[in-house]
Chains A and B, each alone.
Chain A
Amino acid sequence: MRILIVEDDEILFDAIRTGLVLEGFAVDAVDTIADAREAAQTVEYDAVVLDIALPDGTGLELLREWRKSGHSVPVLLLTARNSTSDRIEGLDSGADDYLGKPFDLHELAARLRAIARRSKGNLSPALSWGDYTLDSASRELTQNGEVVALSRREFALLEALFEQPGRIFSRPQLEERLYGWQDDIGSNTVEVHVHRLRAKLGRDVIQTVRGQGYKVARQ
């Protein structure tokens, strides 16, 4: 799941990025509204963590701008101003969730997963496909109750495919979802992850659509 963090405090920014990567997210981080605007135009994020007080304006302005132009990326507002009226203003501006500083990183991760899931129309935190159940919260894949060990990227790739069965993801789309800008893609390309997943799950789970990409069959 790819997340954009918009936060200008260097230390907090660094902590959120590190923490969310540990939670299995692919993370991009910017510290101004201008950079956030540009990032959201080039990458399709699963969710955005948006601080309200930013050096070149308020996060609320950016949020309203996005909502007005029909940009529906799920947004979690992050702010020190945590009164009820602030929360109402934030949610009314089009935010999907709201978290006051200071916060628990696990809670931030859980809320991000929840708003990303809801935006894709999935109500249950667990995605199932065939015999498989993929739990985003515990980051476990089980087959008939048996845990299948997956790496972080393998999990993220399978999660993307399970979220929207039948949809074909191109290789760049999957890369975009798996890697932040700062991640070194290197040799760990999508093909390698698909290859390893097939070794673990069998060949018939992930299908290759020639010339287009990968999908799991619609059920």
Chain B
Amino acid sequence: MKSLRVRLFVLLAAMTVVVWSSAAMWIYVSTRAEVQRVLDRRLIEAAGMVASLANDAEDLLVRQPNQSRLVPLPHYSRQLSCQIWTLDGRLVGRSSGAPSQPLANGKSGFSERVVGGETWRVYTIADPSKQIRVSVGDNLRVRKRLIGDLMVGLLAPAIAGLVALAVLIWASVGAGLAPLREVALRLACRDPEDFSALGIEHPTKELRPLIQAIDSQFGQLERARADERHFIASAAHELQTPLAGLRAHADVASMTDDPATREKSLHSIRKSVDRTARLVGQLLDLSREANGERLPAHWVSMGATMDSLADELASELRRADVRLTVAATAADVDLHIAPASLLLALRNLIKNAVDHSPPGGAIEISAEQRDQCVALCVRDRGPGIPQEELGAIRGRFVRGARERGPGSGLGLSIVELVLSQVGGTLSLRNLPDGGFEAAILIHRDKVTWSARHS
């Protein structure tokens, strides 16, 4: 059924009709039994009364020889018929309207008999001392009409009541559903961009979970939208700045007559282009990872992965004058992971380490057991990150306050996102004797390690 209101109305109305019909049935049955009992009682009383008032059979026969006559029984004439017979079977008196054929077959007590097309219920009483038998009968058609009239009298107000109830039920269901209608109205009227709470002050108990669920969904949507807006604004900002640098250096190069200044500007333009390209690449990585396409995992050798990364980053490492070493512990590790995810995470961590390494510095990749996990550590000998910034540094576009390098602040968030999809975590700490360590923690079930290190 399409409308909740119609559904409730039909249910309530059907139930009311069923209950009322049953009640009417009950009333009909019990009323009929009671009416029969009362009328039977009346027959008994009437018969007794007639018998006690009647004269002896002899007297009756003398006064009205051989023929029946009207016995003055005015009160009963309409409904009751009365016959007085002698015990030997002669009719000595009858009420007006009573048939002349016998109403009963002569036995005492109740009997029913069809006389002249009408069914009679008769009570017969014999008085041996007076030699008479009195039969008093009710016409059953009359009895039925009486019961029928009673039932009509009962049913007519009941039906009127049902109609009134139907109207009241319809209105009450409407009023009862008003809070629901309010929720629907607010949802329908709201701006598609509006993610604020519904603002229903005192929700009914039944609607509260619904309203809470809607409000919390809206809250999540709003947060997601705010995150997205922040991300887009930050991405735009991060792109605008190197673009502004490019533009300004191009201006400088065209303004200056000094070859050294021009050469410096051209160098900066090259740096700016590299940096913009790296940022665009990271944005693409991030959007690819955020789209959540799960890559199939299989067993990957850490040694082979590091070899390919070292090749890929060779010129960058040479330019920064940084050495990359892979400890034997790390080279022997095999991981159950999507190869592209591992590459992406390690590449970002190593590039970060390169950015923060002093010239002549070294980056070491190693592996060690930590609790239930195996940690793949990327350690540099740079200045580290101030302790108070460690918490925030994973956020998107967050860079350290002292940060002046080419990074965009996206690297660590990419690593975190990648790791969250392969069930790993990122752990960051400053090393006690200087330098910084970024560690990828992978559960040991997903790692095999040659026996000599474990």
- Enumerate chain A interface residues (CB-CB to B < 8 A): 8-12, 14-16, 18-19, 22-23, 31-32, 53, 55-56, 78-82, 100-106
Contact = CB atoms under 8 A, between A and B. Distances in A.
Interface residues on B, range: 20 to 34
Contact of A102 (B240, B255, B265): B240
A19 B256 CA distance: 8
A11 B237 contact: no
Given A22-B252, A80-B240, A15 B265 contact: yes
A202 to B, nearest CB: 30
Given A15-B265, A78-B244, 17 more contacts: A8-B404, A9-B241, A12-B241, A15-B251, A16-B248, A18-B265, A22-B252, A22-B261, A53-B237, A55-B401, A80-B238, A80-B241, A102-B247, A103-B247, A104-B251, A105-B248, A105-B255
A19 B245 CA distance: 11
Contacts of B252: 15, 18-19, 22, 105
Given A11-B271, A15-B251, A18-B252, A102 B404 contact: no
B243 interface: yes
Given A19-B251, A101-B244, A103-B248, A81 B261 contact: no
Contacts of B240: 80, 82, 100-102
Interface in B384-422: 399-404
Contact of B268 (A14, A23, A101): A14
Question: 6 shortest A-B CB distances, which residue pairs?
Answer: A80-B240, A15-B248, A101-B244, A105-B251, A11-B245, A80-B237
Contacts of B243: 101-102
8 contacts: A16-B248, A18-B252, A55-B403, A100-B240, A101-B240, A102-B240, A102-B246, A105-B252
Nearest to B275: A11
A100 B251 CA distance: 16
B382 interface: no
Name which of B251, B264, B268 has the most chain A CB atoms within 10 A of its CB.
B251
Given A8-B404, A9-B242, A11-B268, A19 B248 contact: yes
Contacts of B213: none
Contact of A55 (B238, B246, B402): B402
The B interface is mostly helix, strand or loop, or mixed, namely helix
A16 B241 CA distance: 12
A58 to B, nearest CB: 12
B249 interface: yes
B107 to A, nearest CB: 110
Interface string B290-314: 0000000000000000000000000
Nearest to B254: A105
A16 B248 CA distance: 7
A101 B249 CA distance: 13
A184 to B, nearest CB: 16
A31 B404 contact: yes
A136 B401 CA distance: 37
A79 to B, nearest CB: 8
A219 B236 CA distance: 52
A104 B252 CA distance: 10
A32 B257 CA distance: 31
Nearest to A32: B401
A18 B250 CA distance: 11
A102 B251 CA distance: 11
A59 B264 CA distance: 28
A162 to B, nearest CB: 25
B328 interface: no
Nearest to B402: A55
A100 B237 CA distance: 10
A102 B236 contact: no
A51 to B, nearest CB: 8
Contacts of B264: 18
Contact of A18 (B238, B261, B402): B261
B352 interface: no
A178 to B, nearest CB: 20
Contacts of A80: 236-241, 244
Contacts of A55: 399-403
Contacts of A100: 240
Nearest to A80: B240
A12 B272 CA distance: 9
A104 B265 contact: no
Nearest to A18: B252
Name which of B246, B252, B275, B400 has the most chain A CB atoms within 10 A of its CB.
B252
Contacts of B239: 80
B233 interface: yes
A22 B256 contact: yes
Nearest to A51: B241
Given A10-B404, A11-B271, A15-B265, A102 B244 contact: yes
A103 B249 CA distance: 11
Contacts of B271: 11
Contact of A19 (B236, B255, B272): B255
A142 B268 CA distance: 37
B401 A15 contact: no
Nearest to A23: B255
Name which of A11, A19, A102 has the most chain B CB atoms within 10 A of its CB.
A11
